[in-house]
Structure formats: C-alpha cells, structure tokens
Amino acid sequence: MKKLLVSAPMEFLPDLKEKMRKKYECTFAYQVGEKEISSILKSNDFDAWLVSPCPNFQIDGKIMDLCPSLNIISTPSTGSNHINLKDAIVRKIDIFSLKDSETVNTITASSEFTFNLMISTIRKTPYAFQGVKNGEWRESEGKYRGRELSGLTLGIIGFGRIGSNLARYSLAFRMIVLAYDPYVQISNPDVTQCNTLSELLPKVDVVVVCVHLNDETFGMIDGNIFEQMKDGVYFINTSRGDVVNETDFISYLMKDKILAAGVDVISDEFTGDKNSHPLIQYSKSHDNLIITPHIAGLTYDSERKAQMAAYEEIVNYLNYK
C-alpha cells in the first residue's frame, strides 16, 4: 500500500478522510510545525503529500530532501507560493495546484469574500461592530459613515476567475466596472477593458487586486502605482501579500492617498513573525486598514471541492506511476 502524508485540514471531511485510509497508508498531520513535519518525513517513505495551503513554513528543498521517495506534492489552493517550485523541479517532484483546473471554476468562496471585504472596507463594518462592543451607538455615527457602492467606479487588476466573478457581483450593485488584464480578452460588454494600468488607475474609486503571484506580479503594486490612483481611493487585496510593496502601501495609507484598505494576505505569510509584521502593527493603531487572516477560501463548500480535487490528482498520478 502506498503512503500518503496529509497536512491539509480534513477534520470536517470525515468521509474523505476514510476514503483516503482505505486506499493508502495515511499519516494525518494538520497544523504541525516544521520540526514535527520534518520528523514525520524522515521516518516514512511517502509517495505523495497533500499539503496545507497555509503552512507556517516554506516547503523547500531542505524539507523535500527529508523524504527522497516523494513523487508528488498536491496543494488544495490556486496559489503555490508556500512551495518552492524550483526546488521541486530539481528533485523531479510533480506539483499540483488548483490553478487552471476544472474544479477551480466551481469555487466561489474567494470571489464572494473579496466582494465582502470590499463592502466591509467601504462601510467600515468591523470598526462599527467594535464600537458597539465598546458601548457606542449612533452618537458615534460620524466615525462610521461610508459610501454607497452604486455609482462608484471599480477597477479590477487581474480578470481571472475571482476578478470576473467580482465584476458580476459589483455590476449587480450598479457599480461602474473597469478592468486590466493583458492576458485576457474581456467579453462582458458591461466591463470596460483598459489597455494599461495608467489608463485605469486615475478613473476608479476602488482598486481590487486579483492577480496570481509570479515573477511578473511580485511587488507590482508599488509607489508608482499608488501615485497614479485617485486621492481617497479604496484598496483591496485578496491575491497574495507579495504582490504589494508594503512599505509604499503603508506610506500611502498614512497620508490618506488610500482612504481605506482591506487585505486578506500579507508578505512572508508562511515564514515570518506575523505579530510584528508592519501591516499588522500599523492596523493596531490606525482605523483605515482591515486585515483578515487569509480566510477568503475558507468555507466548508470550497474546501471540500479543493481537497477532493487535490486528492484525486494524487490518485491519478499514483495510479500511473
């Protein structure tokens, strides 16, 4: 019987967990740290690894070398920056992610959350709730006054699955939608496609980043990009933290060029000390930055689909190995 290491969350999917046990010799190790996972890898000849999409360490060559029998690493996420892909190629380990898979188009959790975070940022919802917990009510209404979505102009950077879904949701709320994506020909007649970011940025009230992290997009949202935005813009990022130059981001938040922002991701998310992270530190003393802990895809529905797709890829791979 082949061996499978599972560090992806499975406790709420007992049927899938049992299915795995019947087919493979399984080791379940969710939410374990690098030291423990290293010990598990050294002690077993795993054929495959179904990884957590948000480990607290980088899955790099040092980790991979602990288990030379490993043939495939499958992640139930579209992003793969928690895995060192170059190290995997050198070791001839196949990597599967949901990006470009058929399953990913059935998952709407991240798209819905992006829309939710946009509304929460514009309407200051988390701060209003905190005010109630602090004993405030309408006497503090000046702090919590926001904007209607209707009539605002939205600029979407990246028009893949999440960007295109976000456009549909936003159009239903009567927003004006512009989008930039040099790799997509937008067919929605209600979305204006811009040829450059310089064409889009000065026209929009809300900027939402929906790109995949790669060498081209790493640090692409920097001071030059922020400078081209309207004064008092709303900024949302649910893609990856490393897409944004966070030093520049904080600078433009501090001078209110960005009126308010909502992010679900930060840089060095899988390896850094989150409590001392500059964005988290900034948010503790300012009321114009909402940060959520990378939960855009965190629903029972989406995770079931994602875990199943990642597991089935392993099954298909090992069946032909």
82 CB-side CA count, 13 A: 26
| Residue 44 and residue 184 in one domain | no
The yes-or-no verdict on residue 98 having pLDDT over 80 is yes
Q: Tell whether 103 is covered by a domain.
A: no
Looking at residue 99, the DSSP 8-state letter turns out to be T
pLDDT in tens, 121-162: 999 999 999 999 999 999 988 999 999 999 999 999 999 999
Three-point CA angle 277, 280, 282, nearest 5°: 105
Query: Is the torsion defined by CA of 303, 306, 312, 318 positive or negative?
Result: negative
Cβ(92)–Cβ(65) below 8 Å: no
Is 63 found in the same domain as 135?
Answer: no
User: Is the domain of 59 the same as that of 170?
Assistant: no
Dihedral sign, Cα of residue 195, residue 99, residue 70, residue 266: positive
Looking at the 3D structure of the chain, how many domains does it have? 2
How many CB atoms are located within 10 Å of the residue 42 CB? 10
> What CA–CA distance (Å, rounded) separates 179 from 191?
7
Cα(249)–Cα(257) distance, rounded to whole angstroms? Answer: 10
Average pLDDT over residues 293-313: 94
DSSP element (H, E) containing 283:
helix 278-285
Q: Is 129 found in the same domain as 15?
A: no
Q: What does DSSP assign to residue 142?
A: G
**Domain containing residue 28:** 3-97+300-319
In a domain, 260, yes or no: yes
- Residue 246 falls within a domain, yes or no? yes
Q: Is residue 28 classed as helix, strand or coil in its secondary structure?
A: strand
Per residue in 14-67, pLDDT tens?
Answer: 999 999 999 999 999 998 999 999 999 999 999 999 999 888 899 999 999 999
Residues 44, 83 within the same domain: yes
Whether residues 91 and 129 share a domain: the answer is no
Q: Is residue 91 part of a domain?
A: yes
Model confidence, pTM: 0.88
Same structural domain, 275 and 161: yes
Instruction: Report yes or no on 102 lying in a domain.
Output: no
pLDDT value, residue 215: 92
CATH number at residue 207: 3.40.50.720
